[in-house]
């Protein structure tokens, strides 16, 4: 996979939209666990394209809830399954004997890291124990985690000492509980039971993408905030610290992450490796804030100095009725505000000092994909609009 393939994704998508598809037999069969998530949705769109490396691909998609209409256009065999239930997982996934690649791009959030470890380990182990013994031609397991590998869980961000950024993949694990670490250990243990199966770990930063079901959808959250500001005639104030407003930040485009994960499946050099994955450029939030304001037609916007950073959790706690007005006025898809706006996540990401990670290892192993973060941010805002989630 190279820059040429990455650039051709848009053209391939147009071919599918225009009814031109490759009808040849499938060389690879993907199981995307978390197919309605922010990266799962991108995998569901990109894997079936005619020029995707390793293909043609047949795709199974697994998610806990019924299939939403915004995901239904992808040529994926959808399987509704609660993977925290071992019996249900085995019953539904052990039948998928033709799977060659597993993309595990889901997670569950609980109140403590101990609970996160327990439930997320259970989910991954249930999937692997159902599929690995049954899929005779399984070749690769792709596990997505993230930058918390280097900074620790959310509830310990200000309590432990991080490594010095930019973060590199060979940095040792921090001395703290972290479900990302135990997910890796579960994967290593289960994959080792079947000789010849390889793995890869992918660690994105804050993700720019589309999924109303994602628990970490920053673009959707900020779009909902901007829509409310526009509706009420309020200035679009930055809900974070001055440091984050002015510092250099990085982000990971959801399509880019999907491409990176597919590259690891297709490239012999990338097997049994962990990789950071982000857009490869830097931005300042004060630059992206202009993009957000312009997309929603807001003239007054920026950062306002105060003793305490603006918190969207506090600001949005009574805005449910306002969102109902916006949905009705603009004929949007029926949603609850708390489904679209993940306020706590925005408060964490925009209220914590920015960090960076290195993409050198991916480049050394042959991956040269990239995104312009400002264009990515704007693209995913417009995806939210085109699916009628925000006005």
For residue range 69-127, list pLDDT tens digits in order. Answer: 999 999 999 999 999 999 999 999 999 999 999 999 999 999 999 999 999 999 999 99
Pull the structure tokens for residue 129.
Answer: 């124990």
Average pLDDT of 156-164? Answer: 86
User: What DSSP string runs through 18-79?
Assistant: TT----SPPSEEEEEETTTSTTHHHHHHHTTSTT-TT-SEEEEEEESSPPPTTTTTS--EEE
The Cα–Cα gap between 121 and 92 comes to 19
Question: What global pTM score does this model have?
Answer: 0.94
**What average pLDDT does the chain have?**
94
Pull the structure tokens for residue 122.
Answer: 């259970």
Average pLDDT of 133-139? Answer: 98
The Cα–Cα gap between 209 and 206 comes to 10
Quick check: 128 pLDDT over 90?
Answer: yes
The Cα–Cα gap between 352 and 153 comes to 13
Average pLDDT of 225-249? Answer: 98
Are 60 and 96 in contact by the 8 Å Cβ rule? The answer is: yes
pLDDT one-digit tens code per residue, 8-31:
344 444 444 444 344 447 899 999
Q: What is the pLDDT of residue 18?
A: 43
Quick check: 209 pLDDT over 90?
Answer: yes
Quick check: 215 pLDDT over 70?
Answer: yes
Percent of the chain at pLDDT > 90 equals: 89
Q: Which residue has the tokens 């000789």?
A: 195
Preceding amide of 166 cis, omega within 30: yes
Count CB atoms within 10 A of the CB of residue 43: 31
Q: Looking at the annotation, which residues are catalytic?
A: 148, 180
Percent of the chain at pLDDT > 70 equals: 94
273-277 and 236-237 beta bridge pairing:
unpaired
Quick check: 263 pLDDT over 90?
Answer: yes
The Cα–Cα gap between 180 and 215 comes to 16
Best CA proximity match to 166, nearest among 123, 205, 139: 205
Higher pLDDT, 170 or 6: 170
Sheet with 28-33, strands from edge to edge, namely 77-80, 57-63, 28-33, 101-104, 140-144, 198-204, 273-277
User: What DSSP string runs through 126-186?
Assistant: HHHHHHTTT-TT--EEEEE--THHHH--GGGTTTSPPPPSSB-TTSPPPSS--HHHHHHHH
Pull the structure tokens for residue 19.
Answer: 């009814």
Distance from the Cα of residue 307 to its chain's centroid: 33
């Amino acid at each position: 996979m190279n820059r040429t393939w990455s650039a051709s994704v848009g053209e391939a998508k147009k071919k599918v939209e225009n009814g031109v598809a490759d009808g040849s037999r499938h060389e690879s069969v993907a199981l995307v666990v978390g197919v309605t998530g922010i990266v799962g949705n991108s995998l569901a769109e990109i894997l079936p394209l005619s020029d995707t490396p390793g293909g043609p691909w047949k795709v199974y998609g697994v998610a806990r809830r019924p299939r939403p209409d915004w995901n239904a256009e992808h040529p994926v065999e959808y399987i509704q399954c609660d993977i925290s239930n071992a019996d249900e997982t085995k019953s539904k996934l052990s039948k998928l004997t033709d799977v060659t690649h597993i993309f595990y791009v889901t997670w569950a959030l609980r109140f403590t890291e101990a609970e996160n470890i327990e439930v997320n380990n259970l989910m991954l182990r249930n999937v692997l124990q159902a599929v690995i013994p049954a899929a005779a031609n399984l070749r690769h397991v792709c596990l997505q985690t993230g930058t918390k590998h280097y900074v620790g869980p959310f509830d310990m961000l200000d309590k432990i000492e991080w490594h010095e950024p930019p973060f590199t993949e060979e940095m040792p694990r921090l001395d703290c509980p972290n479900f990302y670490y135990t997910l890796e250990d579960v994967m290593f243990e289960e994959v080792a039971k079947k000789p010849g199966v390889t793995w890869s770990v992918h660690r994105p930063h804050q993700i720019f993408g589309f999924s109303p079901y994602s628990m970490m959808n920053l673009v959707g959250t900020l779009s909902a905030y901007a829509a409310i500001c526009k509706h009420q005639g309020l200035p679009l104030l930055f809900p974070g610290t001055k440091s984050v407003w002015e510092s250099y930040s990085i982000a990971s485009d959801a399509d880019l992450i999907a491409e990176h994960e597919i590259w690891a499946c297709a490239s012999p050099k990338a097997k049994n490796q962990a990789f950071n994955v982000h857009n490869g450029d830097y931005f300042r939030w004060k630059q992206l804030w202009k993009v957000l304001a312009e997309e929603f037609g807001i003239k007054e916007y920026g950062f306002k100095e105060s003793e305490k950073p603006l918190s969207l959790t506090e600001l949005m706690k009574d805005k449910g009725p306002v969102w109902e007005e916006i949905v009705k006025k603009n004929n949007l898809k029926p949603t609850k505000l708390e489904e679209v706006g993940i306020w706590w996540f925005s408060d964490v990401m925009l209220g914590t000092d920015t960090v960076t990670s290195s993409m050198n290892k991916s480049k050394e192993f042959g991956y040269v994909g990239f995104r312009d973060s400002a264009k990515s941010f704007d693209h995913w805002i417009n995806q939210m609009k085109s699916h009628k989630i925000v006005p």
